[in-house]
Amino acid sequence: MKRYFILTSVLLASVLFLSACENGEENNDEERVRQIPVETITITPDQFDDFIRVSGSVEAINDAVISSEASGQVLYIANRGQRVNRGDTIARLDDRSLRANLDAARAGFEFAQETFERLEPLYADSIVSTQDFRAARTERDGARAQLDQAEKALEDAEIRAPFNGRIEERMIRTGELINPGMPVVRITNTDRIRVRAGVPERYSAEIREGNDVIVSLRSYGGSDYESRVSFAGNVIDQDRRTFPVEVEMSNPDDVIKPEMVVNLRIKRRAIEGAIVVPRTAIVRDEGSVNLFVAREENGHKISELVEVRTGTATGPVVEILEGLQEGDEVVVAGMSNLSVGDRLNIISNETSVSRAERLQRSDRPVVTFD
């Protein structure tokens, strides 16, 4: 009986030892498998907006340097930064001599008019000659022209704003003598602005008036604004090989300033049912373009390298024409430490559509204006 107990104990110990060895080997195998933390996207075909990117400069639609049409000493001029409405006085000249000229012109016209009216019935009765009557009429007309000229000169002594705006520059000071043609002030209205840009000639068949545009102020810490192409030129710049486009849009709160350089994303076309991935997910090899894709294997996600064919690229995303299908899970971050066959530790996942939108808009708000 004692020998039987000893034998049983030995057999049990052997079984436990073998089992422990097998478990240890399995645990070692588990430890030897690389687990790489990655981010992935799940492919969801959707509309892909193909944009071209150009830079443009901003100008105010109403921006003018106002010059004087009269001569005289400056008695008043609006302050820089002052807002004025159309018709408001922005500068006033000494008009005493102009008023004297107007009084003299008015007196001359009244005398010529009375003379003409006195001779008119006499001419009808053939009491005065035709020559005398015509001379009186000519003198009356000349006096009327001098009166109009004097009235216009007096009006020009008050320089008025041609549109609503803001005084940006003053070219003269109070007390200075000015002559006709001298610049007085610069008035700018930035309620509506125009963005001018040049588009490469290879897009001449695709960029038309009415194309959607996103105007970006990100370099100034601002937002993006949606608008449309208001003008697309037909003449190519011979030096730059570009054609001009303009975008007119509202400018609430004067956020966009004249002479700013802004970025434009002009929509070329919309591709339906497209598959897009971030540019940074592309792994290039000699003669091939690849992506890491997560595949299911024994209950784990394993990395696999898939060759793809790319299509249109715009900004941070690129279209995939071949190699992927709906539902594929593509690695978009963590590829630098990744090899084929590595086990994946997926720390985040989103759809390809949401990732593309986030990349293109950079989580900045888009405000729509006309």
Checking if the pLDDT of 91 tops 50, the result is yes
Angle, helix 130-156 to helix 96-124, in steps of 10 degrees: 160
Contacts 24+ apart (CB under 8 A), 218-222: 218/263, 218/362, 218/364, 219/261, 219/262, 219/263, 220/260, 222/255, 222/256
Reported CATH class of domain 52-61+192-270 = mainly beta
User: Which pLDDT tens digit goes with each residue over 65-78?
Assistant: 999 999 999 999 99
pLDDT-based confidence at residue 33 (cuts at 50, 70, 90): low
Domain 34-48+273-361 has CATH 1.10.3720.10: no
- CATH superfamily membership of 95-156: Helix hairpin bin (1.10.287.470)
**Please, which pLDDT band fits residue 366 given cuts at 50, 70 and 90?**
very low
Q: Which one, of 88, 43, 54, lies nearest residue 278 by Cα?
A: 43
Q: Among candidates 289, 266, 267, which has minimal Cα distance to 277?
A: 289
| pLDDT, tens digit, 9 for 90 and up, residues 251-310 | 878 888 999 999 999 998 888 888 989 988 898 888 889 999 999 888 888 989 999 999
Among 38-42, 164-168, 295-299, 312-316, which stretch is predicted with the lowest mean pLDDT?
A: 312-316
Mean pLDDT of 182-208: 93
Residue ranges per domain, the chain?
34-48+273-361, 52-61+192-270, 95-156
